[in-house]
Amino acid sequence: MSPVRLLSIFRKTLREQSRDLWLLALSLVAAPFFVVLYWLLFVGGSTAYGVLVLNADRGAALADGTVFSAGAELVAGLEKVTYASGSPLLRVRRASDLESAKATLANRDAALLLVLPEDFSEGILVARTRATPPGSPAPDPPAAPTVTFIGDLTSAAYAVSSVLTLATLDEYLRAATGQTRPVELAEEPLGASGVRTEFETYVPGLLILSVTLLIFLAAMTVAREVETGAVRRLRVTPMTSFDLLAGISLNQVLVGVTAVLLTFGTAYLFGFRSQGPLWVAVLVGAVTTLSVVGLGLVVAAFSRGVTDAFVIGNFPLIFLMFFSGAIYPLPRTALFTLGGHAVAIYDFIPATHAVVALNKVLTLGAGLGQVAYELIALVVLSAVYFAAGVWLFQRRHLRRR
Amino acid sequence: MTPNPPNGAETVLRAENLTKRYGDLLAVDRLSLEARGGEILGFLGPNGAGKTTAIGMMCGLLRPDAGETFVRGRPVRGGDPEALARVGLAPQSVILWPKLTCLEQLEFVGEMYGMPRPDARRRGRELLETVGLAEKTNKLARTLSGGMQRRLNLVLALVHDPEIVILDEPEAGLDPQGRVLVRDYIRSLARERGKTVILTTHNMDEADRLADRVAIIDRGRLLTLDTPEELKHRVGEGDVLEIEVSDAPGEAPGPGGGAGHPVLRTLEELARARSGVGAAGATGAARAAAVSRVGHIITLRARDAVNLVAAALDALRSAGFRPGAVHLRETTLEDVFIAFTGRSLRE
């Protein structure tokens, strides 16, 4: 290894990159662009889940001559379900008939259809008047009216909106009938998760995205040296594969860290706030960059040109994006335990640790000490992937055959 | 004509029994040769003869299956940095970094050879000046014309001031002015700067003008290695007489017809009588080519061939041929090359 050669390769790659502004700009602004896009999508900071209500409740006359409309009261209650910031959680709309409401659901214009029966109010009144003091014999149970939830059970939006609606309905029924719970329920948010807007919860994923996309840039930059034959020219010099790949990687890491900073900067501009120290999150991003670049080198080792690098790069990209928990959680089957940490197959994917670490820092307010395990795992994986990339590249492209 | 290398010049590169096989193909077969300090060694061979593979092993680009190349006694095989730094390779295909300027490329390659950056930069400027690219110093390589890129490709092999310069087809793709410039530069490298230049080429004229010694390889084997003059002498002293003829009466028309006509033997006896000897010292293949016929051209090689013209024409007329145009020229390296490697196409 020669630091002079390494720096020379770094400088050369930097020059080439600065003359390929489109590629550089796309690598740097991809994640910030998506941050802005997400902010625009979640106006007010969070999603409001669409709930359609088909309110057939005809109400019930009270002894004083007034009409009790439980359906209308419930709808009003649903409209008051908000985030901590005051933004609505449910976007409640009235449906006129069942068929058109189902069509709306099928078009995904709403997540849930709540059908309140004609005798909804009457059922509540019956339950209220039959409430018996403790110790008295229980009367025969009345025929209770049925409230129906309709929705696509595979939809995550349905799951969220139905839980929220059910909780509101349950609360309303309890209050309206004067019943008390045998036990009280309490919810305690972990860290600052209770006050995070949905926009804020997406920022770590976008950050991972910005870093993950570097796999293409790293692989293509190295593969270009193969495609143009430059590696052949360099093979007759005393340069080593470590010099070449470390020089190029240094450059890619610089791009990656810049992308991370730009992403955080943009997110901050649009209201994102980290609960933990931001520098720790940046550090996590930087170390993740190292490991993704290492994976890029492995891709480059199997590529004979830029096109190969792009096609082959998709394979690890899918692992990074879909098997790391960045998009959705996956079942974990522990392979072994290391220092009290259960290690699963996904733990060999750098993004897995990055997702956990960023969530801890940004949402739960963790500091450096609480993400030490993830950082160490990222450093080890970076070293392993980089070493594998150097070894494979040496064997496939720099070895004198 | 180029002078011979200084007698007793030190051997700077020694290839010993270099052998390289690609599957069933024996690309280079026990090739041994030495290159001396300050000489230009031409490396000739038909397409697929193994030239590029051979020089690849000499400069450390390829690992031989057997044998070894030594540069100043140091083996190249293991990637010895000192041995590698003594050799510069200009590959046949242009290999540049399109998004670096001319100077940046030279500076970068210089640094890869361990040169301090200011030295590499200074040397780069000198080289660009030398090959007429000074005005393009800060232009990106991708903006250069094909010929300019070839010249840049050439000087990239020289930035670290190697003792041995290996040039694979250096004149390919150059216009006449570019060829002259590069040829003069290659000559100056050896004559003025004492570099050893090994160049492969298909251009016999280029090899004849430049090379102190010429190695001819075919099918991976070294056929001969000597000075161009000596090679020409060995193939046949004197001049070459080419006579255009019609088909002889009764022979099959076309390119292959009459190849073994008795008149050829008559002409060969005439040539030997004129030369006084039977092309002593030449190989069988070379001797057989003293008189040959390809299509409508009969080629006759003999000392003092100008005085043979009348007798040769008489012999042809007697045999029923109608002689046409007559050309008289000196023996060239191309004659040597054909004599050693034959006329059949290889690829």
Spatial CB neighbours of A315, under 8 Å, sequence gap ≥ 6: A299
Q: How far is B175 from chain A (nearest CA, A)?
A: 24
Q: Which CATH number does the domain housing residue B309 bear?
A: 3.30.70
DSSP state, B144?
S
User: Which chain B residues contact residue A399 at CB under 8 A?
Assistant: 63
With H, G, I as helix, E, B as strand and everything else as coil, classify residue B308: helix
> Are B255 and B184 part of one and the same domain?
no
More confident residue, B79 or A375: A375
Q: Are A179 and A172 in contact (CB under 8 A)?
A: no
Instruction: Say if residue B212's pLDDT is above 60.
Output: yes
User: Which chain B residues contact residue A400 at CB under 8 A?
Assistant: 60-63, 77, 79
> Are B152 and B212 part of one and the same domain?
yes
| B59 interfacial to chain A (CB closer than 8 Å) | yes
The reported pLDDT for the residue numbered A364 is: 87
The reported pLDDT for the residue numbered A138 is: 59
Q: How far is B193 from chain A (nearest CA, A)?
A: 22
Give the separation between CA A365 and CA A191, rounded to whole angstroms. Answer: 6
Give the separation between CA B198 and CA B40, rounded to whole angstroms. Answer: 6
User: Which chain B residues contact residue A19 at CB under 8 A?
Assistant: 99, 140
Residues of chain A with pLDDT under 70: 43-46, 130-142, 325-329, 400-401
Q: Is residue B4 part of a domain?
A: no
- Assigned token pair, B185: 């530069």
Q: Is residue B169 part of a domain?
A: yes
Which of A15, A19, A233 is facing B91, going by the closest CB pair? A233
Mean pLDDT, range B214-231, rounded to an integer? 89
| B104 interfacial to chain A (CB closer than 8 Å) | yes
User: Which chain B residues contact residue A15 at CB under 8 A?
Assistant: 99-100, 104
CA–CA–CA angle B335, B341, B347 (5° rounding):
120
Contact A236 B59 (CB under 8 A): yes
User: Which chain B residues contact residue A12 at CB under 8 A?
Assistant: 97, 100, 104, 108
Q: Are B79 and B156 in contact (CB under 8 A)?
A: no
Q: Write the ipTM.
A: 0.73
Instruction: Say if residue B253's pLDDT is above 70.
Output: no
The reported pLDDT for the residue numbered B344 is: 62
The reported pLDDT for the residue numbered B345 is: 58
Q: Which helix (H) or strand (E) holds B74?
A: strand B74-75
> Are B197 and B242 part of one and the same domain?
no
The reported pLDDT for the residue numbered A120 is: 94
Contact A12 B112 (CB under 8 A): no
> Are B116 and B177 part of one and the same domain?
yes
Which of B62, B91, B112 is facing A401, going by the closest CB pair? B62
User: Which chain A residues contact residue B114 at CB under 8 A?
Assistant: 2, 4-5, 238
The reported pLDDT for the residue numbered B289 is: 43
Q: Is residue B21 part of a domain?
A: yes
Contact A400 B89 (CB under 8 A): no
Q: Is residue B132 part of a domain?
A: yes
| A1 interfacial to chain B (CB closer than 8 Å) | no
Contact B63 A401 (CB under 8 A): yes
Q: Which helix (H) or strand (E) holds B197?
A: strand B196-200
Q: Is residue B336 part of a domain?
A: no
The reported pLDDT for the residue numbered B282 is: 43
The reported pLDDT for the residue numbered B251 is: 61
In single-letter form, the type of residue at position A202 comes to Y
Q: How far is B45 from chain A (nearest CA, A)?
A: 23
Nearest to B235 by CA among B327, B335, B328, B342: B335
Contact A228 B99 (CB under 8 A): no
Confidence band for B309, pLDDT divided at 50, 70 and 90: confident
Q: Are B76 and B60 in contact (CB under 8 A)?
A: yes
Could you report the per-residue pLDDT of B134-147, keeping only the tens digit for each? 999 999 999 999 88
Q: Is residue B338 part of a domain?
A: no
The reported pLDDT for the residue numbered B33 is: 92
Of A122-131, B203-212, B248-257, the range with the highest mean pLDDT is: B203-212
Q: How far is B84 from chain A (nearest CA, A)?
A: 6
Q: Which domain holds residue B70?
A: 11-228
The reported pLDDT for the residue numbered B346 is: 57
> Are B277 and B216 part of one and the same domain?
no
- Assigned token pair, A239: 């340069």
> Are B54 and B190 part of one and the same domain?
yes
Q: How far is A234 from chain B (nearest CA, A)?
A: 8
Q: Which CATH number does the domain housing residue B211 bear?
A: 3.40.50.300
Q: Is residue B344 part of a domain?
A: no
Which of A15, A20, A239 is facing B112, going by the closest CB pair? A239
Mean pLDDT, range B49-58, rounded to an integer? 90
Find, in chain B, the residue whose alpha carbon is nearest to that of A21.
Answer: B99
More confident residue, B202 or B63: B63
Confidence band for B347, pLDDT divided at 50, 70 and 90: low
Could you report the per-residue pLDDT of A207-245, keeping only the tens digit for each? 888 888 889 989 999 999 999 999 988 988 888 888 999
Which of B61, B108, B113 is facing A232, going by the closest CB pair? B61
- Assigned token pair, A104: 């709306």
User: Which chain B residues contact residue A228 at CB under 8 A?
Assistant: 95-98
In single-letter form, the type of residue at position B82 comes to E
Class in CATH terms, A47-193: alpha beta
- Name the segment(s) of chain A with CATH classification 3.40.1710: 47-193
Structural domain count, chain B:
2
> Are B301 and B189 part of one and the same domain?
no
| B87 interfacial to chain A (CB closer than 8 Å) | yes
> Are B149 and B195 part of one and the same domain?
yes
Which of A19, A228, A234 is facing B112, going by the closest CB pair? A234
Contact B111 A8 (CB under 8 A): yes
Q: Are A151 and A162 in contact (CB under 8 A)?
A: yes
| B142 interfacial to chain A (CB closer than 8 Å) | no
| B140 interfacial to chain A (CB closer than 8 Å) | yes
pTM confidence score: 0.74
The reported pLDDT for the residue numbered B183 is: 87
Could you report the per-residue pLDDT of B275-297, keeping only the tens digit for each? 654 444 444 444 434 787 877 88
User: Which chain B residues contact residue A226 at CB under 8 A?
Assistant: none
> Are B262 and B194 part of one and the same domain?
no
